[in-house]
Structure 1
Amino acid sequence: MDALILAGAGIGYLSGSVPYGLLLTRAAGLGDIRQIGSGNIGATNVLRTGNKKVAAATLLLDALKGVVPVLVLTALWGREAGLVAGLGALLGHVFPVWLGFKGGKGVATGAGVLLAAAWWLGLACALLWLAMARITRISSASALTACAAAPVIALLAGDLPLAAFALVLAAVIIARHHENIRRLLAGTEPRIGEKKK
């Protein structure tokens, strides 16, 4: 079983490491997304190019690279393998080998992982993100709120393994937002659709 778990982590990592934001912006003739805005390869930064369709496609594909390995590995080898594959997908997105381990911040991929692992938890976090985004118009604040809430929601539902898993995901994503947190505290974090100053 340990070999299967390790294989699941590897499969998840390879799925997560595909830099869709970079590939799509280049294919659309928008240049290197790493030279735009925050330099991040995720959907929020892709939106700063002004191309909403490419941003939406990036969001969808980044979420799917979390969904697919969790569903496939859960079906093949059980829940534990699926969760490990989900963590691998998140780490692949955040630390992709193809980009020198400098990837995205993991929000869309993490959301996809949670949706596949427990649809009700993923849905709750997505709705919380949407509510916060509507109130604050700040993507990072919305993501941080949803991440922090995920393990609490799972714990309240009585699923301790899922709560622990969500806590690990949240820790990775929140750690990747350290610069955003500093800007939020300073009041300089850009709003959704704005270019980073």
Structure 2
Amino acid sequence: MLSWLILCSLTIILSYILGSFPTGYLVGKVLKGIDIREMGSGSTGATNVLRTLGKGPGIFVLFIDCLKGVFSISLIYALLNFTTSQNLIPATVNLELWKPWIVISLGSAAILGHSKSIFLGFSGGKSVATSLGILLAMCWPVGLATLGVFLLVIGVSRIVSLSSITGAIAVSLFIVLFQQPLAYLLFTITGGLYVIFRHKSNIARILAGTEPKIGQKLELETRTEQV
């Protein structure tokens, strides 16, 4: 039992480190020799990279940050396969009961890592792309449905932050619709609130009618994170 708990704890830590991988920051350094945190909105996320470095780097960062979420959940499946093959899971442990809670623990660690990266002095992005990757790995119909809402809102409004906030709200409804475990519902509610909280400055600009749309620049002095 102790060995299994230690492995779970180590996997959660690894998930945090994986989420902390500073994709946007590294892209800025490699392509332009800049610290992306000192440009545009100050975020390491895909939207700020898009506005600062262009469409190609923005899409690349979005893709890699999404993969961080996918890989973080894949860790739990690798862990379960390993512990099962090594007979490390006690017979008294109900694996089906515990699995969703372990999954959301790894997902939460990855989200925290992306927004509070250990490699960037606990700064980062808004965890939207990483959250999408987590959802796709947890339950792909929920992930695709949430992505559909995001794309619909962004197609109409052209505002990334509004699309992210709407997706963060819609995801819990999809969890209920697709009859997912209670642990997943609690995760999406908590994660959604976290994403919305990270967008508090964006919400203020949306209400004021000053939030930039795709193709517009966010003034450097604003220094507010976008994604």
TM-score > 0.5, shorter chain as reference: yes
Partner of 1:103: 124
* Distance in structure 2 (CA, Å) of the matches to 1:96 and 1:35: 16
- After superposition, the C-alpha distances for 1:146-178 in whole angstroms (9 at most, x for unaligned) are 011111110122223221111121122111111
2:43 to 16, 40, 44: 40
**Does 2:165 align with 1:144?**
yes
* Distance in structure 2 (CA, Å) of the matches to 1:43 and 1:116: 20
Instruction: Name the aligned partner's letter for residue 68 of structure 1.
Output: F
Partner of 1:74: 77
Partner of 1:15: 18
Instruction: Name the aligned partner's letter for residue 125 of structure 1.
Output: T
TM-score with structure 1 length normalisation? Answer: 0.94
- Using the TM superposition, give the Cα deviation of residue 30 of structure 1 relative to its aligned residue in structure 2, in angstroms: 5.5
Q: Is the 8 A contact 1:64 1:109 kept in 2?
A: yes
- Using the TM superposition, give the Cα deviation of residue 91 of structure 1 relative to its aligned residue in structure 2, in angstroms: 0.3
The runs of at least 4 aligned residues of structure 1 exceeding 4 Å deviation read none
Partner of 1:161: 183
- After superposition, the C-alpha distances for 1:77-134 in whole angstroms (9 at most, x for unaligned) are 3443232111110000011112111110010011111111111111111111000000
Partner of 1:189: 211
- Using the TM superposition, give the Cα deviation of residue 139 of structure 1 relative to its aligned residue in structure 2, in angstroms: 0.2
- After superposition, the C-alpha distances for 1:10-52 in whole angstroms (9 at most, x for unaligned) are 1110000011001012111252211211010000000112421
1:55 to 47, 53, 58: 58
* Distance in structure 2 (CA, Å) of the matches to 1:166 and 1:24: 29
Question: SS at 1:83's partner residue?
Answer: helix
* Distance in structure 1 (CA, Å) of the matches to 2:152 and 2:6: 41
2:196 to 157, 174, 178: 174
Q: Is the 8 A contact 1:8 1:82 kept in 2?
A: no
Instruction: Name the aligned partner's letter for residue 215 of structure 2.
Output: G
With CA pairs under 8 Å and 6+ residues apart, which has the higher RCO, 1 or 2?
2
Partner of 2:137: 116
Unpaired runs of 5+ residues, structure 1, are none
Question: What is the aligned length?
Answer: 197
Instruction: Name the aligned partner's letter for residue 80 of structure 1.
Output: W
* Distance in structure 2 (CA, Å) of the matches to 1:145 and 1:30: 34
Partner of 1:85: 106
* Distance in structure 2 (CA, Å) of the matches to 1:174 and 1:75: 31
Partner of 2:96: none
* Distance in structure 1 (CA, Å) of the matches to 2:33 and 2:195: 27
Q: Is the 8 A contact 1:95 1:102 kept in 2?
A: yes
Q: Is the 8 A contact 2:110 2:130 kept in 1?
A: yes
Q: Is the 8 A contact 1:16 1:66 kept in 2?
A: yes
* Distance in structure 2 (CA, Å) of the matches to 1:139 and 1:107: 10
TM-score with structure 2 length normalisation? Answer: 0.82
